[in-house]
Amino acid sequence: MRITLAIEKFDPTVGGAERYSWDFSHYLASRGHQVAVICRKSLRPASPGISIHRLRVVRFPQFLRHIMFSVLHALEVKKLGYDLNLCFSNTFTMDVYQPRGGVHRAWAERELVRYPPRFRKAAGLYRRALLKNTVQRWLEWWVYNVTKPEVIAIADMIREDIVRFYHYPPEKIHLIPNSIDRKKFTGENRVHRSGVRSLYGLAEGDFVFLFVTNNLRLKGFDLLVDVCGRLEGRPFKVLVVGDDAGWAARQLREQGLQDTVILGGKSSNIERVYPACDCLVHPTYYDACSRVVLEALASGLFVITTDANGAKMYVDGDNGIIVPAGDPAALAGAMEKALHAAGTAAPRVLFKDHGETFADLERLFLEVLRKKASGGT
């Protein structure tokens, strides 16, 4: 097959969607398919069979960036004339759509819990008025009402949101849940525990909550810091791994938590960091299906996340706790429970390995091609 793959940033260091697209494109190339990645920013691919097509798109303002990317992507797809077009971003032209970021309208609805109840209506109206959000809503509407591709939902929550907001035909939605590299993320990495703790200045006896993100605001850093100031009883540390932000360090200093919450920056060996900690805390306001939850479970960590995370389908009460998004009291209660739990959870294999999921996607692509060849929709 000759496949185009559209994503704004083809860079595995940016986030979960970007890392997934990188891994999947290299899998397709290893299977003998030709892959043309259409993006606005990329790293050089490490495998033959992948060509990069960078679009000259402005970075700001964001609404114009979204429009330019969609228009230029459509032109590039027409020029290339490949067999199948896969998109991870909202664009005009696609055969298969995998909304790695979830459903924009669901994000806009759920993220309002960040604001005090009396301000949520005003915040919602303000956010709807922003041009970047208006464009995203319009592009998403176009996908589900005009383009009408085959859609891959990476979690039950996403499938339900697509049907709820767009009344999309269920037969055109294929549930292929998120996955990870199970050979990489394993409890066996616990042998590096002492070295990793020493690297971040953590003692062997410390109870360590792990918070992994490249988007501090969306993943609930403010809520986590608020709760850390309230917890009593057993001492603990919070290790933050991912993109740092100046305002985060200032917030910690203002609240006197700079010795409790450690900003560790990015890690090139994140698979070793998970087993060095005791519990993943991921109080996200919205997540299609967080890979960090899957990686933590596979590494043997107890997990705390929210009901606005598609990965909640893997948290069963024995291996973690689901709390309402934006609820500090519930988050504090869950963290206190984790603090008093003995040890860490046993590694759980509740989801497929990358290779299995990628094979499922490849089979779906072949079915879509057969439909196209027969004139089906």
Give how far Cα 149 sits from Cα of 146, 168, 174, 310, 376, Å: 9, 10, 11, 22, 12
Task: Per residue of the chain (377 residues), give pLDDT as tens.
Answer: 999 999 999 998 888 899 999 999 999 999 999 999 999 999 876 678 999 999 999 989 999 999 999 999 999 999 999 999 999 999 999 999 999 999 999 999 999 999 888 999 999 999 989 999 999 999 999 999 999 999 999 999 999 999 999 999 999 999 999 999 999 999 899 999 999 999 999 999 999 999 999 999 999 999 999 999 888 878 999 999 998 778 899 999 999 999 999 999 999 999 999 999 999 999 999 999 999 999 999 999 999 999 999 999 999 888 999 999 999 999 999 999 999 875 556 666 678 899 999 999 999 999 999 998 887 65
- Contact between 17 and 100 (Cβ < 8 Å): yes
Q: What pLDDT shows up at residue 345? A: 60
Pairwise CA distance, residues 73 & 71, whole Å: 5
What is the C-alpha to C-alpha distance for residues 8 and 135, in angstroms, rounded to an integer?
15
What pLDDT score does 196 carry?
A: 97
> Contact at 8 Å (CB) between 121 and 39?
no
Q: What is the pLDDT of residue 342?
A: 52
> What local confidence, expressed as pLDDT, does residue 348 receive?
64
pTM for this structure? 0.94
CATH class of 187-340: alpha beta
Same fold, 2-179+353-373 and 187-340: yes
Record: fold of 2-179+353-373: Rossmann fold (3.40.50)
Domain ranges in the chain are: 2-179+353-373, 187-340
Write b or e for each residue in 233-243: b if 16 or more Cβ atoms lie within 10 A of its Cβ, otherwise e.
Answer: eeebbbbbbbb
What does the pLDDT read at residue 376? 67
